[in-house]
Amino acid sequence: MNAVITPQNYTTEEFAELICYKPGAIRTRLCKAGSFYGIRPIKLPSGRLLWPAEKVSAFLSGQEV
């Protein structure tokens, strides 16, 4: 049995690639709306954003985030 390993979090660039957006568009939406269609990232002390994989998966499958 092969287990599928998924990351716990995605970088903004990885998230953008998954949903066919530009990273800048995701950051802009986050700044204007406070989230990206209901997904709030984890902000690291360095300022880098990490997007929760569980919520990203729900968003991609059309479930409410």
**Tens-digit pLDDT profile for residues 6-20:** 679 999 999 999 999
58 contacts: CB under 8 Å, gap ≥ 6: 64, 65
Domain boundaries, the chain: 9-60
At residue 1, the pLDDT reads: 47
Q: Token pair of 34, please?
A: 């406070």
At residue 64, the pLDDT reads: 72
At residue 54, the pLDDT reads: 93
Q: Token pair of 13, please?
A: 């660039």
Q: Is 10 exposed, middle or buried (0-12, 13-18, 19+ CB in 10 A)?
A: buried
pTM of the model: 0.83
